[in-house]
Structure 1
């Protein structure tokens, strides 16, 4: 999905954990087909922008100004550590959540990401 933004309906509050009714801009990174094949939820409601890993750059994130970024822990083209490094290198200092299931010790990945990318608020969440 090169350079193509797919705007899907999502309940931003449910994904971000926000209960204050504020607008949350969400960017989900990955292949939409792979995302759905893995059973990751796409709730209805507010707005979400889907980007491929290769579409992540300073200009795109500046334009979208996301409050939170989501991705799978492991995707076909990238993993969450690669995306965290990319986000960190282009100056994103917001919230990044990687979605995974059945990881034996997710805290090891979290610790590694936080050491490499201290400005990110990173956590692995289970579906």
Structure 2
């Protein structure tokens, strides 16, 4: 599993996570509209689909075929582990970008999500 940590400000500098996110043809943003500023959709090159976790389905994953998923560390009703488990159950395997405020032990989030969701490559996008 690849483990990466960056600050949102670094997305503009060409860091590894920025390259991974920019290379994604389809990005699925789940309840993380605050991450939209980090994306630069380009018609014909990159599409961004925004949804709520409650709207996720296996048909949506099959139809959209996201190369990357972006979600918050914690929402009002669920956390990133819940999202990761649901994505895997729906058939998604790939990059999961976690939007969070700076954390003192950010690597623990990557390890926890990665240990539970082995089909996902976890990246942190620290905002703050």
- Offset from partner CA, 1:39-85 (integer Å, 9 cap, x none): 76254432210010111121101100000000111122321111011
Alignment match, 1:65: 65
Q: TM-score with structure 2 length normalisation?
A: 0.72
**Secondary structure in 1 matching 2:37:** coil
Q: TM-score with structure 1 length normalisation?
A: 0.72
Alignment match, 1:26: 27
Are residues 1:17 and 2:19 paired?
Answer: yes
Contact 1:26/1:67 (8 A) holds in 2: yes
- State the 1:22 CA deviation: 5.7
Q: Could you list the structure 1 runs, at least 4 aligned residues long, displaced by more than 6 angstroms after superposition.
A: none
Identify unmatched segments of 5+ residues in structure 2: 1-13
Structure in which a larger fraction of residues adopt helix: 2
Alignment partner for residue 37 of structure 2, among 35, 41, 66?
41
**Secondary structure in 2 matching 1:41:** helix
Matched length: 109
Contact 1:16/1:24 (8 A) holds in 2: no
